[in-house]
Structures are given as structure tokens and as C-alpha cells.
Amino acid sequence: MKNQSATFRIYTEDTNKGKIEEIISRYFDGFTIYKAEGFWRLQKEKTLIIEILGESDIVTKINSAAREIKSANNQEAVIVQKIKNNNWLI
């Protein structure tokens, strides 16, 4: 059975973009990083959203990268989001 494609997002604090790029690059050869503003416990913070497109079976790699980012940024938690969809290259 063919895997369903998905968009994965990791939301984290924007405190060490270079280190985050290094971590993500070890797991994936393609990704996008967006800068945003988020709120955590009513406190505004600079946020990075890392977006990775792939098959649904990369969840283990996504979770491993998210754990490393959480540790590198000394955060209580990061958000991981999976959106099932159909992606293709033209």
C-alpha cells in the first residue's frame, strides 16, 4: 500500500536558527523555515515554523528532530503538526 503524503510542521521559539537548521539538515534534505510571532502562556515570542513535505512514514524522523530542537532551545515543548494531503513535483 502506498503511503499518504503529508505536510509536517514543527513550531519552536526563534532563539537559535542556525542550530535548528543544522538539526533539521541532518534528518531532511529539503525543508522550509518561516518566521512568525506566537504566544505561549500569554507571552509573545518570536517563532520559527519548520515545514517538511514527505510521506506519512517519516513521523519517527520528525519526532526525533523535534526532540532535538526542543532540547537545543531549552523549551518545555514544541508543537508538531501533521496535515495529510497530496504533494507532487512538476
Q: Report pLDDT digits (tens) over 13-58.
A: 999 999 999 999 999 999 999 999 988 889 999 999 999 999 888 9
Contact indicator for 75, 16 with CB cutoff of 8 Å: no
pLDDT given for residue 45 in this prediction:
92
Q: In order of start, what are the domains of the chain with their CATH numbers?
A: 5-81 (3.30.70.120)
Look up cell 508538531; give the residue: 80
Query: Is 48 in contact with 13 (CB distance < 8 Å)?
Result: yes
Residue 87 has pLDDT above 80, yes or no: no
The yes-or-no verdict on residue 1 having pLDDT over 60 is: no
Distance CA 24, CA 45 (A): 21
User: What is the value of pTM for the model shown?
Assistant: 0.90
Whether residue 2 has pLDDT greater than 80: no
Q: How many CB atoms lie within 10 A of CB 60?
A: 9
pLDDT at 4: 84
Count other Cβ atoms within 10 Å, centred on residue 33: 15
